[in-house]
Amino acid sequence: MRDVLLRPWIATCHETPLHLSDYLDDELRPRTRKRVRRHLARCERCQALLESLERVVTGLRSLGDVAQPEPSPATVTAVLRRIQQR
C-alpha cells in the first residue's frame, strides 16, 4: 500500500530511462528531476543504466578533444577539382 501512495513522488522503471539523458544534462523540470532521483536511489537496474550512459557520454565527449589532422594539399585540390567539374 505504501508504494501506491509514493508513485506520484517517485518515477517508475518505465519512465526513468526516458529521462536519463536529460537528467545528466540537468535539463529536467525540478519535480521530474526529484522523481527520477528518488527512483535512482532505490533501483539498482536504473542506477546501472545511468552509470552506463555516463560512461558513453564521457567517452563521446573525449572524442571531441582529439585533434583533427589537416587534409593534405593534394586532397584539397582533388576535392576542389571535383566540385568545379559538377
For the record, the C-alpha cell of 13 comes out as 522503471
So what's the pLDDT on residue 12?
Answer: 92
CA-closest candidate to residue 50, choices 29, 20, 25? 20
What are the start-end ranges of the E strands in 1-84? none
User: The pTM is what?
Assistant: 0.65
User: Rounded to an integer, what distance in angstroms lies between the CA atom of residue 69 and that of residue 60?
Assistant: 18
- Provide the domain limits for residue 20: 2-85
Q: What is the pLDDT of residues 7-34, one digit of tens each?
A: 678 899 999 999 999 999 999 999 999 9
Which cell numbers in the block locate residue 3? Answer: 508504494
| CA gap 40, 35 in Å, rounded | 9
CA distance 73 to 75: 5
What pLDDT does 67 receive?
73
pLDDT value at 5 more than 70: no
Looking at the 3D structure of the chain, how many domains does it have?
A: 1
Residues 37-77 have pLDDT tens digits of: 999 999 999 999 999 999 999 998 888 766 778 888 888 88
